[in-house]
Amino acid sequence: MKTFCGRANPTTGSMEWLEEGEDYDYHQEIARSRYADMLHDKDRNVKYYQGIRAAVSRVKERGEKAIVLDIGTGTGLLSMMAASAGADFCYAIEVFKPMANAAVKIVQKNCFSDKIKVINKHSTEVTVGPDGDMQCRANILVTELFDTELIGEGALPTYEHAHKYLVQEGCEAVPHRATVYVQLAESRRMWSWKKLFPVHVEAEDGEKILVPPSEMENCPGVPSVCDIQLNQMPSSDFSILSDVVTMFSVDFSKPVQSASTYYRVQLEPVKSGKAQVVLSWWDIDMDPSGMINCTMAPRWVKPTSALQWRDHWMQCVYFLPREEPVVQGEKLYLTACRDQYSVWYNLQRAREGENKADEEEHEAGVFVESPVCRCRAHLVWNRSRFGELNDQNRTCQYIKSLRRILKTDSVCLCISDGSLLPVLAHSLGAKQVEYFILFFRSLHFSLVFFSHVFFKANNLEDKIKIIEARPELLKPSHLENKKISVLMGEPFFTTSLLPWHNLYFWYARTAVSAHLASNVTVLPQSASLHMMIVEFQDLWKIRSPCGICEGFDVQVMDDMIKASLNFRESKEAEPHPLWEYPCKSLSQPLRVLTFDFTKTVPQHCLSTEGSVKLLRKGKSHGAVLWMEYHLTANISVNTGLIRLSNEKGNCEWNPHCKQAVYFFSSVIESEIQSDPTAVTYAINFDTKKGELAMDFKL
């Protein structure tokens, strides 16, 4: 079956109707999936295998047949482990059809077809009985349904159902138990992902401070998890305020309740400071004794044990509703509230001389509803965008360049989603500022709402005019028949995924050309695309074939990922925030394309080709691409490589932006430095489609 899906092209802004074959989503899903990363997670695999062997032995020792239920079998890996460990029969449940098909093939290839039955259903649809999917209830329950937040992929309702209908009472579960840990922390950097800080503007007539609206000060934000590679956060960027506290545990061998609840612990800060965030991770015990433990603890918690790198499980940052000054040794209560899929936190101070009765009364109001953003800014900006807007250095670059180009009679038009530029331009003395809010974008209503609130908080509500229209429908009347003398943008658009999607600014600029004065200043005046060949420390694992996993042949999966990566446009660059994924540069950074915003988008394609030398020994895993915006002559904002150490090639990346990573389909190792290998590249920007295509030859 074919369906047509409409979407706005992120770069050109035009509506496109794409023919979506049934296969399309599945290829995207496989290509971008975490299956490869899981198969490379040695620590996880080894411990699952140990736990499964131990569970099968315990059941056998009781003289029972070992009947396994593996919910979410994926490649069939855990079922094959169980069968090898001597299980009598395994029911391997997988809801995602392409994966269930792959599991059948993998099970066959490894000669387990007589022991493992793959069932392509959601576990809640599985039936038990003589005519059912399962002959009888299982006595071993094996799953791996966890995300970084533990419960975000629906583990709780799945377990709840399985205990009611699919497994025997007193069954063995692998993992046996999961435990969630937290530490209270102060971090200006992480807090800058949650709220807007006041912005300092150095204007001709003195310093002005732009304030965030009060609606935003008290806004609880959104419940979506903030998962990061916490080990990549420099220790100077946060300060730990408490010991590690056990927040809650789930015993998977007993009936599990998924209904909303809360867990409350008492803690005493080990240090005074501002409690802003809760850092959290979990571990799983594969057996009841707790001897086989797989942990996501960050480096400072288990400094001696070797860290397993993984991307499918990281650490979480939870933002407290408001920052709370805490004093070393005082008595605090931390509450984790959860629903079926997400967790959120609250901090309360124990009252002076509190007794048991008070404490109970105190507890009554402890569960708070899941956070709902009231200021709408959290719907418009994601966490890294908040971080970017709070980057005062970056803001200074815009202020400096605006100061250079603005005149008292400037008529400004800003094109960017949820931008501070209109307010900055006004504070710097521009007479007329129009803020273009792009009417067709999905977040349009929230954007308009939030902009009004923000302007009002700074007494600018009647000073900056919001125009809600598509750029091509801009009319002279919108601008009171004046011509625009300054066209500005960051550029930033909420629909952008890859760095060059923000070139939408160029398309919008082209669409409003008729309204520009002949001597218009465009800020940024141009943008450039940069490229560098890198060796990743770990990120390569997410796209690399696994071959044999714990003795099982999973090549079928490798082939499937490869086919999906090559399917249609799936073979393209993907966005990754590289501050979380260390890499080493193997080539010099290279400016490959330039986009001149002072002119309209040309009709012809922009292309370039050449070769780049590999200067350092290492494995070329791929190319990284990023954009730089040239605001005015000599002032640029870089969204990619910030610093490069020339000896070792260590890279420092812009911490607020995702860069584009193009993984090479095969890896080459550069060896000799005297006769460097070269990588040839061809890059083409199709101006009509707004698409960037690239090809590399090693």
Looking at the Cβ atoms of 49 and 664, the one nearer to ligand SAH is: 49
Does the annotation mark 535 as catalytic?
A: no
Q: Match 């387990």 to its residue by tokens.
A: 112
296: its two tokens:
């996501």
Q: Which residue is nearest to ligand SAH (CB)?
A: 72
161: its two tokens:
């159902």
Contact pattern from residue 30 through residue 49 relative to ligand SAH, giving x for each residue in contact according to CB under 6 A and a dash for the rest: --------x-----------
Task: Pick the piece of the chain touching ligand SAH (CB under 6 A) from 15-23, 89-97, 414-422, 657-665.
Answer: 89-97
Residue 123 near ligand SAH by CB under 6 A: yes
Among 74, 152, 212, 273, binds ligand SAH (CB under 6 A): 74
CB 528 within 8 A of CB 630: yes
Options 20, 29, 153, 323, the catalytic residue: 153
Phi, psi of 46 (to 5 degrees): -60, -45
Among 122, 254, 271, 322, binds ligand SAH (CB under 6 A): 122
> Rounded CA gap, 630 and 218, in Å?
36
Half-sphere exposure of 561 (CA within 13 A, CB side): 22
> By CB under 6 A, how many residues form the interface with ligand SAH?
19
Looking at the Cβ atoms of 96 and 263, the one nearer to ligand SAH is: 96
Options 16, 61, 94, 144, the catalytic residue: 144
Angle at alpha carbon of residue 588, lines to 585 and 591, rounded to 5°: 120
Residue 94 near ligand SAH by CB under 6 A: yes
**Quick one: 118 exposed, middle or buried, by C-beta within 10 A (0-12, 13-18, 19+)?**
buried
Residue 69 near ligand SAH by CB under 6 A: no
> Rounded CA gap, 455 and 438, in Å?
17
Among 36, 71, 279, 573, binds ligand SAH (CB under 6 A): 71
Among 11, 12, 50, 75, binds ligand SAH (CB under 6 A): 75
Q: How far is the CB of 380 from ligand SAH (least distance, A)?
A: 31
Residues 678-697 that bind ligand SAH (CB under 6 A): none
CB 164 within 8 A of CB 258: no
- Choose among 162, 178, 168, 177: nearest CA to 70: 162
CB 694 within 8 A of CB 676: no
Residues 6+ apart with CB under 8 A from 635: 397, 400, 401, 404
Task: Pick the piece of the chain touching ligand SAH (CB under 6 A) from 93-101, 323-331, 433-441, 477-485.
Answer: 93-101
Contact pattern from residue 270 through residue 299 relative to ligand SAH, giving x for each residue in contact according to CB under 6 A and a dash for the rest: ------------------------------
> Rounded CA gap, 670 and 613, in Å?
10
Among 116, 139, 144, 579, binds ligand SAH (CB under 6 A): 144
Among 95, 211, 466, 668, binds ligand SAH (CB under 6 A): 95
Looking at the Cβ atoms of 96 and 445, the one nearer to ligand SAH is: 96
Three-state DSSP class for residue 388? helix
Does the annotation mark 144 as catalytic?
A: yes
| Helices 42-61 and 77-84, axial angle in degrees (round to 10) | 40
Residue 332 CA, chain-centre distance (Å), reads: 31
Task: Pick the piece of the chain touching ligand SAH (CB under 6 A) from 75-83, 351-359, 471-479, 655-663.
Answer: 75-83
Residue 78 near ligand SAH by CB under 6 A: yes
526 bridge partner residues: 596, 630
Q: How far is the CB of 252 from ligand SAH (least distance, A)?
A: 14
Catalytic positions, written as ranges? 144, 153
Binding residues for ligand SAH (CB under 6 A): 38, 71-75, 77-78, 93-96, 99, 122-123, 144-145, 154, 158
